Each structure stands twice: as structure tokens, then as C-alpha cells.
Structure 1
Amino acid sequence: MNGYAIRAIYLFELARAWRTLMQSIASPVLSTSLYFVVFGAAIGSRMVEIDGVSYGAYIIPGLIMLTVLNESTSNASFGIYMPKFTGTIYEILSAPVSALEVVIGYVGAAATKSIILGLIILLTARVFVDYSIDHPFWMLAFLILTSLSFSLLGFIIGVVAESFEQLQIVPMMVITPLAFLGGSFYSINMLPPLWQTITLFNPVVYLVSGFRWSFYGVSDVGVGLSLTMILVFMLLCLGVIAWLFKTGYKIKP
């Protein structure tokens, strides 16, 4: 294992985040704060509790997941796409660095940025509403696993994408709608039976539900099922990445 190569890629990607601090950190935090003001304070004060939790506190896990999913995907996809766009990807491929080390460097940096952002939003939420964390270990576990999984997805998107526009298609057209329809702002038990069944085909439901359970001990689906879905998704992404490097698809000319 080439630790120097992993460290170089990892630190370079983190440094890029600090150079674009407003876009990487400040903008997502500000956007999420507006959600807390509108949904938590304005609308939440007029709504009843959900599963014994005030509405303002209930949406905190969903808002964190909404941000983490998008930022993990975007950070990882942009991180690997830029070397392709500038042509420096061939320097990495010709260096004594394995595919595993490249993935660890880029995905690790993207996941780290998303985890930090999620924790910052968690602290910011305290300004607007009171909340508790019943299972802090599992809260961190869900946050880390989700960040890693969607950073792997973002890595795949960055490799396959052929333009900057294509980098935004999946986050904007797929992940964001799934997050909004995945119980971020409500419990799926509030839906009619037919729509509850349809919603269970949305993978984001399991992420939000498991993460919310770590806060308040309530969930729409079983916690074990949520963990299983995250691990299955992670393994699928790893399998696709292994195939991409093995075949050189969209990586080598």
C-alpha cells in the first residue's frame, strides 16, 4: 500500500475544499439554515409532533442526509473529473499507484468533507431547535457509511461523465428528488398504504430512517435493514469501480 500517494491525493483534495470555502462549506450550511427557518420555525410551530418528536427536531436528520448525499456525490465526481478534464489523470495512471490507492485518496477526501459538513450542520441546528441523540455511535456510523457510499457513487459519475453538465445530472435529477421523497420532511407512515409501498423502493428512505433512529429511537423501517441497504449499495459501487479500472472504460483512451 502506497501511503504517500494516498496522502498526497487526500491532502490535495482537502486543500481544494479550503480554497473554495464559500462554495464547499458556507453555501450548504446557509441553505440548510434556511430550511430550518422555514420548515422548523415557521411551519413546524403549526404542526403536531411526529412519533413524539417536535417537527423542527424531526427534520434535522433528513436535512443532514439531504446535504450529505448531494455533497458527497458532487465532491467525489468533481475531484476525479478534473484530472480527466486537464489530462493529469494519465500522470496518476502511469505512477506507481494502484487503483485502490487512487479510490481511497479521492473517495476518502470527499467523504471527509461531507462528514465535516454534516457535523457543522448538526451544530448549526442547535441554534434553531433543541434535539437529542440517543445513539451517538450509530449516528456517526450512519453518517460515515452514507458519506463513503455516495462518495463512491460520485467517483463513478466523475469517471463516466464527459462534461461538467453531466456531473450535475445525477445529483440534481436523481438524488435530490429521492431525498425529498424519502422521508426527509415527514414519516412515510403518514402516506396512504399504496404510496407507503411505493416509497419503500426509494433507497434514500432507508438512509434517512436509520439516521433518524440514531437520534430519537424512531424509524420507518428496521435499523438492520437500513444498515444492510447501505452496505449493499457500497459493495455495488465498489464492484462498478473495480470494473471501470479493469476495463479502462472512460479512463484510458
Structure 2
Amino acid sequence: MSFNARGAWSIYTRELMRAFRTAFQSLIAPVLTTSLYFIVFGSAIGDRMPPIHGVEYAVFIIPGLLMLTLLGETTSNSSFGIYMPRFTGTIYELLSAPVGVAETLIGFVGAAATKSLILAAVILGTAMLFVDYSIKYPVLAFGYIMLVAASFSLFGFILGIWADSFEKLGIIPVLILTPLTFLGGTFYSLDMLPEPWDTIALANPIAFLVSGLRWTFTGVADVPIAVSFGLTLGFLALCTAIIAFIFKTGWRLRE
């Protein structure tokens, strides 16, 4: 079967329209939360913090705050997008339509990634209201944000297929991703941790993502940038393979 561009575009636009109908939850709420972080950590605490690796503290935490919001919102948007058709039963219309795995992923995952990129732009614009900063490698930063958004959109897609209740949709983003992001160097450098905690912290995969994004912003990283990019690409490939298996076997899709 040839690639159905119209089918992919239909899924993509429908998912974007759903996000715009819930603009407060999708955009305004994360921006308000991020603003509070900047007020508390950037202004109230940041003035009392010395520079970290030569980077002003308020600037240092921007990539971590961006990653904190990006991971949670991307995963939630993507998981909810595929869960609702399963919940309402309209998933069978999608499965019987002349669209394949590629078109389905481009539609659902592409929409979730697009919403995440819009959210990232809004958050970075909000950060300018609190701190004067610049991005050292803007092209690499944009590429890395796209890579992370695509990876966790795929991960959210898997989560939305796995979940059989609304409660399960929130387990991974709230109880796992958010704590791991806080412990992954969002507000501090891993070098600031005493032994053996600095080594133990490297067992947290989110620390590599935060470090990679921070390097594109400031040139400072806790781990080599090649490791961060490689780990993210590996996670992207793993999620793609899992989704291919799900569509091949029909696991949870035809139940």
C-alpha cells in the first residue's frame, strides 16, 4: 500500500485542533508553572547562588525547566491522543481506514511533537521576561528539542496503548518522569553532589537529556554531549521498534 499523505494529514490536523480546544491545559498552565519556578528559583534563590561552571544560576536552570515541562507534556499529549480513540471505540475506524503504521505515527506523534515545540517556544519566550540569556548553539538546541519531543511522543503513544484507564495515563508522567527530571540535574550540576551520589545520579537516564540540552544552551554539560545524543537516538529507535511490534501483533489495539 502506498503512503497515504491525506490520511496522515487528517490525523495530524485533528490532533492539533484538539490541543487548541484545550489551550489552557496545553499551553497556559505549563507556562504559569514555569513562571513560578523562575520566580522562586531564578529570582528568590538565584541571586544567592554562585555561578555554576561560569554560568549564572538563573540561566543554568532554563534547560532543566524546559526539559521538565517538555517531557511531561509531550508524553501526556501523545498518550491521551491515542488512548481516547481506544476508550471511545473509534480506534476500529482508524484500523479499518486505508492508513498504515507510518501515517498513524506521523499523525499522532507529529501532532504531539508539534505541540511540544510550540510549548518550548512559549516557555523560552517566558524565560526572557525573567532573565537575559542567549543560546550558544541554537541550531543544535532546536534539533535536540525536536529529537526529545519525537522520542517522548513515541513513548507516550506506547503508554496510551498500554493504559486501560485514565489513572494509568498519569502514572508514568507524574510518578516517574517528573521525579526523575527533578533528580536529573534540573536545578543543579551533578558535579555538586558528593560521592557516591554523583555516580549514582548517572543511573538516571533523564540526567543525560538535561545535560545534553544544557550543553546546547550554555556549552556546559555533566556528561559528554555525544553520549546524550546517542542515548536519545537509541531511545527513539527502541520506541519505534516497540510500536512496530504493537501494530504487527495488534496488542491492545484490537481488544
| SS at 1:251 equivalent | coil
Instruction: Map 1:74-223 onto structure 2 (within 5 A).
Output: 74-223=76-225
Q: Percent identity?
A: 57
Amino acid at match of 2:37: Y
**Structure 1 residue 67, shift from structure 2 partner:** 0.3
Alignment correspondent of 1:33: 35
Residue number among 54, 58, 61 corresponding to 1:59 in the alignment: 61
Amino acid at match of 1:173: L
Alignment correspondent of 1:13: 15
Structure 2 CA distance for aligned equivalents of residues 80 and 191 of structure 1? 40
Structure 2 CA distance for aligned equivalents of residues 166 and 118 of structure 1? 26
Q: What TM-score, normalized by structure 1, do the two folds share?
A: 0.99
Q: Deviations over 1:113-170 (max 9, x none)?
A: 0011011100110000111111001100110000000010000000010000000000
Structure 2 CA distance for aligned equivalents of residues 3 and 209 of structure 1? 37
Q: Deviations over 1:39-62 (max 9, x none)?
A: 000010111110111111110000
Structure 1 CA distance for aligned equivalents of residues 102 and 170 of structure 2? 25
Structure 1 CA distance for aligned equivalents of residues 138 and 42 of structure 2? 22
Runs of 4+ in 1 over 6 A off after TM superposition: none
Alignment correspondent of 1:50: 52
Amino acid at match of 2:107: G
Amino acid at match of 2:97: A
**Structure 1 residue 197, shift from structure 2 partner:** 1.1
Structure 2 CA distance for aligned equivalents of residues 45 and 151 of structure 1? 36
Structure 2 CA distance for aligned equivalents of residues 242 and 200 of structure 1? 30
Structure 2 CA distance for aligned equivalents of residues 152 and 240 of structure 1? 9
Structure 1 CA distance for aligned equivalents of residues 195 and 226 of structure 2? 23
**Structure 1 residue 193, shift from structure 2 partner:** 2.4
| SS at 1:49 equivalent | coil
| SS at 1:250 equivalent | coil
Structure 1 CA distance for aligned equivalents of residues 161 and 246 of structure 2? 8
Structure 1 CA distance for aligned equivalents of residues 180 and 47 of structure 2? 26
CA RMSD of aligned residues (A): 0.6
Structure 1 CA distance for aligned equivalents of residues 215 and 112 of structure 2? 25
Instruction: Map 1:238-253 onto structure 2 (within 5 A).
Output: 238-253=240-255
